Amino acid sequence: MADAHTPVPFTVLIVEDESLVRMLAVDMLEDAGFQVIEAPTGDAAWAILQNRDDIDVLFTDIEMPGSLNGFGLANRVAEYWPHIRLVITSGRCRLTDEDVPDHGKFVPKPYFAAQVLTAFEQASPG
């Protein structure tokens, strides 16, 4: 069955500290045709970003343990890799798209696949 959101084959870095939420999101994105890399914290994601050049989308939760939350991570990514599309999510914080760096998008939790895929399509790379 064809999906209205047929993705370009993006590589997505998903950053989520809740392992069950991360696992569900990874499955959802892989089912939609994306290559997915996972990180449990902003610090772990930062290390991945410094060692890879194939990340197209950062999909990050805001509130995470460690020295770098998702919003701080998104700001750094916008500065160092402006070509990476930014999509931020949270179940506690409410943002507007204008609050997301670099013309990114905000998707509130709980989210559906269609919401996330639309945000990926609408987030502007650099």
pTM of the model: 0.91
pLDDT tens column, 22-38:
999 999 999 999 999 99
Question: What are the phi and psi torsion angles at 82 (to 5°)?
Answer: -65, -15
CATH of the domain spanning 11-122: 3.40.50.2300
Mean pLDDT of 116-122: 93
DSSP of 42-54: HHHHHHHHHH-S-
Cβ atoms of residues 85 and 120 within 8 Å? yes
Q: How far is it, in rounded angstroms, from Cα 113 to Cα 126?
A: 24
Mean pLDDT of 6-29: 89
Q: What tokens appear for 102 in the block?
A: 């670099």
Name which residue leads in pLDDT, 106 or 3. 106
